[in-house]
A and B are shown apart, each in its own frame.
Chain A
Amino acid sequence: MNPFLDALALNAGYNAALVGIGAAMLGFAAGAAGTFLFLRKRALVSDAVAHATLPGVGLAFILMVALGGDGRNLIGLLLGSAATAGIGLLLVEWIARRTRLSEDAAIGAVLSVFFGFGIVLLTVVQTMSAGRQAGLEGFLLGSTAGMLFQDAVVIAVGGALAVFATWLLRRPMTLVAFDPDYAAALGYNVRRIDLAMMGLVMAVTVIGLKLVGLILIVAMLIIPPVTARFWTESSAYVIWYAGLIGGVSGYVGAALSTTAPAMPTGPIIVLVAASLFLMSLFVAPARGVAAAVIRHRRFQRRVHRRQGLLALSRAEPIHDDFTLRVLRGEGLIRPDGVATANGRALAAKTARDEHRWDIAREIHQDAGLTGRYDGLTPIEQVFTPDEIAEFDRRIGGPRALGSSLGGTA
C-alpha cells in the first residue's frame, strides 16, 4: 500500500500514529482558539506569545537542573514556557495600554526581546555540564522523532481543555471581538475577556511547542481561522470550521511527513494549511476570488445589456463588441445587428422604466427610494404596483409603437 495512505490509516507505525493523532488534535485546538484572536484583528499577538515561550523553556531547564532534577521533564518545560509567555502577553497588553506605542510595536518589541533573551539562555544551557540538554532547540521548530505517549497525552488533554474553554467563552468572546464598546456597556469586563482570549492562545502554543515548535505554531493559530472565514459568515460556525481545517491540516501533514525522510512535520503541516488557505482564497463561495470575478462579469453583462437595450430603444447604432455579443447571445438582436421582436419589446420596456424613474423622481423628491436608482435595479423592486400604475398614468401608459422605436414622448 502507498505509504501516505498507510499513514492516513494510522498503519505506519506507533510513533507515526501518535504524531498523526497529536497533530490533528493540536490543529483542531489551535484553529478554534486562534479564531477569536483573528476576529478581534489581533492575530499577530500569537506571534509574540509564541516567541515569548523560549526564555521559559531555558529558565525551566536551568532551574530543574539546578534543583537536581531532569532538565528535560516536559511538564516542567511547558510550565516554564507558559510562565514567560504569560509575562510576555501581559507586557504587550501593558505597553499598548499604558504608553502611546501601538499594539504592533508592543508585539514586535516583546517577541524580539523575549526571543533574544531565550537565545541567551539557550547558549547558557549549551555550556552547562548537565549533558542532557540536547533537544531544547527542538522547541524552535518542533521535533516529532522522539514523541512519547506522554507528549500525546499532554496535547490531547490540553487541547481538549482549550477547545472546551473556547466553547464556554464563545459568547462573550464573540461580543468583544465584534463590538467591545457594546460588550462593556452590557457589563462584561472587556480587558479580562481579551486576556482570556490570549490566555487560550497561550495554552495552545505551549502544548504545541513540542510538536511544531514555537515559530510554526503561529501559523496553526492564524491560517485555519483565516481560511475558515472564507466559508462562513457566522461566528458560531467559524470556530468549528477553523478547528476542522486545523485538524485536517495536522493529520494530513503528519501523514505526509512520514512518507519520506527529511520531511519535518511542523513545516509540512503549515504548508498543508497554507494550501487549504490558497484554495479557499480562490474557490470559496461569496468571498473567494473566483466568486468575485464571476460577480464582476455578471455585473458587467447587466450593464452592457441595459446600455444595449437603451440604444435599441433609441434606434442608435451599437458599436461595442461585448454589448453586441450579450444582445446576440440572448437573441435580442439578429446576427446582422437588427433587433428581434423580443429585443424590441425589451428595449421598449427598458425605455419605459427609465421614463417611470423620471416620473418617480418628480414625485419622490427625497432620495430615500429614488436614490436606489442605479440603472440595474428593476423598478418593480423599489416601488409597489399601484405606485408604478400612478407613474404610468402620468406618462399616459404604454402605447403601440409605430415605425419609430423612440417611443414614449
Chain B
Amino acid sequence: MGSEFVQFSLTPMLIGILASIACALPGNFLILRKQALIGDAISHVVLPGIVVAFLLTGVVSALPMLLGAAGAAVVAVILIEAIKRLGKIEPGAAMGVTFTTLFAAGVLLLEQTDTSSVHLDVEHALMGNLESLIWFQARDGWASLIDPVALAALPPELGRIALVCALVVALTLVFWRWLKISTFDEGFADALGLPTGAIGFGLVITAAIAAVAAFDAVGSIIVIAMFICPPAAARLMTNSLERQIWWSVAFAVLSAVLGYVFAGYGPLWIGAQHAVSAAGMIATVSGLILGLTCLFGPHRSRIGVGKETAT
C-alpha cells in the first residue's frame, strides 16, 4: 500500500467515488419522483451528443464533448416531453422511443465517421476506462500529494469530476427545501408559489451534468447504476430524506471502493491473472448492496403491508 497504490489506484478510486456521489445525490430525488429511468435515458443519449461534438470540433477534447453530451441530454428531455404531450403516450414508452432512437443515431454517426485515429467507440462509452486514469507522476508514494510537479500531472478527469461533484453538492444544499417540498408534495409547492416545473427541469439538468461528467471518466454503466442503486438501497434503510441522502452517499462510496478493489485485486485472490472491468464491478457491488437492503433493510416493505402478506 505504498507508492504503487498512490500511483495506480488512488486516482481511479477517487474518481470512482466522486462520480458515484455526484450521481447518487440527484438520484435520490429522481427515485422519489419516480423518474429513476431518466438517468438511464440520459446515459444513452450522451453517446450521440459526444459524437456530434466530435464531428463539429474534430478533436477529442473534454469541454466540447461535455457540452455536446449535456446538449443531447437537454434535447432528449425536451423530446420525451414533446412526444408525451403531442402523442398522448405514457412516459415510459415516450422515453423508450426517444433514447433508443437517439442512441441508434449516435451509433450510426459513429460508424459513418472515421474515428479509427481517435479513442472514441461505443464500448469505451459504455464501459469507461477507469483503470487507465492512473497518476503516473506519483513516484514518491503519499509524499506526491504535496509535490507540485506530481500534482500538476494528475489526470484531468479528477479535477473535472471533483468540480462537478462540488457543484452537485452545492446545488443540492442551496435548493434543499425547494427540492424536498416539490418532491413530496407538488401541489403544496405550487401553492407556495415555488416554480415546480423549473425545479423538476433543473433536477434533470443537474442529473445530466453529473451523468456527463461521470461518463467522461467512468462510462455509462456506473452512471445508471449510481443514479439508482445507492438511493434505492438508502430508501429501504430510513424514512427520513436527510438520512436517506447520507445512506446513499455511504453506499455510493462503499460501492466505488469495494468495486474497484474487487476488480483490481479480486481476480488475483482467486488465482486469476488479469483484473476485470472496474466500472462493471462497481455497478455489481452496488447491486449486491441493493439486494441486501431488499432482503434486510428495516424499511423495505410498503407501509400498511404486514410481513406475512408481503410475500
- Also in contact, A230 and B87, with CB within 8 A (given A109-B232, A116-B280): yes
Contact A100 B277 (CB under 8 A): no
**A108: interface (CB < 8 Å):** yes
Neighbouring A residues of B89 by C-beta, 8 Å: 226, 229
Contact B236 A99 (CB under 8 A): yes
Contact B96 A119 (CB under 8 A): no
Binary contact track B212-247/A, C-beta < 8 Å → 1, others 0: 000000000110110111001001100000000000
**B88: interface (CB < 8 Å):** yes
Roughly how many angstroms separate A210 CA and B224 CA in the complex, as a whole number?
24
Chain B interface helix/strand/loop/mixed: helix
**A24: interface (CB < 8 Å):** no
Contact B274 A113 (CB under 8 A): no
Contact B111 A100 (CB under 8 A): no
Contact A271 B90 (CB under 8 A): no
Which A220-276 residues have C-beta < 8 A from chain B? Answer: 222-223, 225-226, 229-230, 262-264, 266-268, 270-271, 274
Contact A117 B284 (CB under 8 A): yes
- Also in contact, A262 and B279, with CB within 8 A (given A109-B228, A274-B104): no
**A190: interface (CB < 8 Å):** no
CB distance from B105 to the nearest CB of A (A): 6
Contact B229 A141 (CB under 8 A): no
Contact B221 A115 (CB under 8 A): yes
Contact A116 B294 (CB under 8 A): no
Contact B37 A107 (CB under 8 A): yes
Contact B122 A100 (CB under 8 A): no
Neighbouring A residues of B198 by C-beta, 8 Å: none
Binary contact track A65-90/B, C-beta < 8 Å → 1, others 0: 00000000000000000000000000
Binary contact track B137-176/A, C-beta < 8 Å → 1, others 0: 0000000000000000000000000000000000000000
Contact A108 B36 (CB under 8 A): yes
Roughly how many angstroms separate A43 CA and B96 CA in the complex, as a whole number?
7
Contact B92 A112 (CB under 8 A): no
CB distance from B215 to the nearest CB of A (A): 13
Neighbouring A residues of B92 by C-beta, 8 Å: 41-44, 104
Contact A120 B107 (CB under 8 A): no
Roughly how many angstroms separate A41 CA and B112 CA in the complex, as a whole number?
35
**A98: interface (CB < 8 Å):** yes
Binary contact track A112-149/B, C-beta < 8 Å → 1, others 0: 11111111101110010000000001001100000000
Which B103-151 residues have C-beta < 8 A from chain A? Answer: 103-105, 107-108, 111-112, 122-123, 126-127
Contact B229 A109 (CB under 8 A): yes
Contact B279 A116 (CB under 8 A): yes
**A351: interface (CB < 8 Å):** no
**B66: interface (CB < 8 Å):** no
Roughly how many angstroms separate A119 CA and B283 CA in the complex, as a whole number?
10
**A204: interface (CB < 8 Å):** no
**A16: interface (CB < 8 Å):** no
Neighbouring B residues of A47 by C-beta, 8 Å: 37, 40, 96
**A33: interface (CB < 8 Å):** no
**A102: interface (CB < 8 Å):** yes
Roughly how many angstroms separate A215 CA and B132 CA in the complex, as a whole number?
26
Contact B97 A274 (CB under 8 A): yes
Contact A264 B283 (CB under 8 A): no
Closest to B131 in A: A123
Closest to B227 in A: A108
Contact A223 B95 (CB under 8 A): no
Roughly how many angstroms separate A122 CA and B31 CA in the complex, as a whole number?
30
Contact A287 B88 (CB under 8 A): yes
Roughly how many angstroms separate A264 CA and B287 CA in the complex, as a whole number?
33
Contact A120 B263 (CB under 8 A): yes
Roughly how many angstroms separate A122 CA and B263 CA in the complex, as a whole number?
13
**A327: interface (CB < 8 Å):** no
**B52: interface (CB < 8 Å):** no
Neighbouring A residues of B104 by C-beta, 8 Å: 216, 219, 266-268, 270-271, 274
Contact A101 B225 (CB under 8 A): no
Roughly how many angstroms separate A225 CA and B94 CA in the complex, as a whole number?
12
Contact B87 A222 (CB under 8 A): no
Neighbouring A residues of B258 by C-beta, 8 Å: none
Neighbouring B residues of A287 by C-beta, 8 Å: 87-88
CB distance from B47 to the nearest CB of A (A): 10
- Also in contact, A108 and B39, with CB within 8 A (given A44-B95, A100-B301, A113-B287): yes
**A218: interface (CB < 8 Å):** yes
Going nearest first, the 3 A-B pairs with the smallest beta carbon separation are: A116-B283, A113-B287, A219-B100
